[in-house]
Amino acid sequence: MMIIDAEVVRRFLAALGTALSEGDVARVTRSWEVPSLVLSDEGVIAVSDTNEIEAFFAGAIQWYRARGLVSTRPEIQSIETLGARLCSVDVRWLAFDAEGAEKTSERSRYILRIDDDDNLRIRVALTLTLPGSGSPLPVSSAPQGSA
């Protein structure tokens, strides 16, 4: 069985970035395992079919291209091992124009899982929208239930 480590995650996300940049929707779709979940402030999408993933990314790639953004590259911010087959990764996706200038970025958190065929795949995607999102919240030391 594959072992999750930083290099495996880095290669997975680099390949995803290349597929997105090349508009290779089939390869992007293969990076997901279904069922999966997409979470954002706007709502929750339960994804049960790879056709949904394919349609979403086909539209997203067109949307980015229409704004002059032609490539993306992941910048890993943190990786946390959650189990033998699971990890959480925070990524800043840098978006570039045709001249290679960085124009924008967005942040995501993924729960990645090694599937039964020993492939790392996305199971949960979460859009991080607020500055500082992804940072731990302070935990109160006060006893629970006391007044």
Q: Is residue 106 part of a domain?
A: yes
Q: Is residue 146 part of a domain?
A: no
Residue type, 89: V
pTM as predicted: 0.85
Residue 145's pLDDT is what?
52
Q: Is residue 139 part of a domain?
A: no
Q: The domain containing residue 65 runs over which residues? A: 6-128
**pLDDT (tens digit per residue) in 39-91:** 999 899 999 999 999 999 999 999 999 999 999 999 999 999 999 999 999 99
CB 95 within 8 A of CB 75: no
Query: What CATH number does the domain containing 19 carry?
Result: 3.10.450.50
Q: Is residue 10 part of a domain?
A: yes
pLDDT band at 96 (very low <50, low <70, confident <90, very high): very high
Q: Which residues pair with 107 in a beta bridge?
A: 92, 128
Q: What is the CA 142 to chain-centroid distance, rounded?
A: 35
| Phi, psi torsion values for 48, nearest 5 degrees | -115, -5
Q: Is residue 74 part of a domain?
A: yes
Q: Is residue 103 part of a domain?
A: yes
Q: What total of structural domains would you count in the chain? A: 1
pLDDT band at 3 (very low <50, low <70, confident <90, very high): confident
Of 94, 86, 20, the C-alpha closest to 54 is: 20
